[in-house]
Amino acid sequence: MSVLGGLKSLFTGDTGIVSSIAGLVKDYFPPDLSAEKKAELEEKIRNFQLQAQKQVDDATSVAEQNLTQRIAELEGTASDLKAIPFFGPLMLFLRGLQRPAWGFSTLYMDFMWFSEWATLSQKQESALMVINVLVLGFLFGERAIKNVMPLITKLFEAKGKG
């Protein structure tokens, strides 16, 4: 979860500040309040929650846009690189080549390791594990790695004992 997402959930959602305040207000409704008044107040609370959610969503969107703009100002954009003769297109090519190069390199290293054509030291195996987590996490996402990590850990434990 991103920092902005974390801040957003702090204010909204089922456990957010706005929902907590709304629940607290409902707890203090007078016991002799008519059903119509109670429904009217609950509707006002719901509208307040929706307005608060919209304000937080708008603020999050503006913050994300500002962050993206700031990164573009500091690091430049692809159009900035295109303006540089020869080196600009070369840089764009190399930047685009990173994902497949790392992916295929990791695939090759894993093939060599699992086929046992190459014997690796403990330090090299650890480095290969880190590279795999980084590259595969980038290619397939954090959730996929979290789901597979217990199996990988068991594999390393079994290999260490054997």
Q: What whole-number distance in Å separates Cα of residue 80 and Cα of residue 77?
A: 5
3-state secondary structure of 127: helix
All structural domains of the chain with their residue ranges: 3-75, 88-161
Question: Quick one: tokens of 158?
Answer: 């079994």
pLDDT of residue 9: 59
Q: Closest Cα to residue 102, out of 77, 76, 133, 141?
A: 133
Question: Quick one: tokens of 62?
Answer: 């503006």
8 near 60, Cβ under 8 Å? Answer: yes
Question: pLDDT of the chain along its 162 residues, tens only?
Answer: 455 555 555 555 555 666 667 666 666 677 777 878 778 877 887 888 788 888 888 888 888 899 888 887 777 777 777 888 888 889 889 988 988 898 899 999 888 888 877 778 888 888 888 898 888 888 888 788 788 888 878 877 777 775
Name every residue whose Cβ is closer than 8 Å to that of residue 80 and which is 6 or more positions away in sequence.
Answer: 88
Query: Please, what's the b/e burial string for 114-138 (b: 16 or more CB within 10 A of its CB; e: otherwise)?
Result: eeeeeeeeeeeeeebeeebeebbbe
pLDDT of residue 1: 46
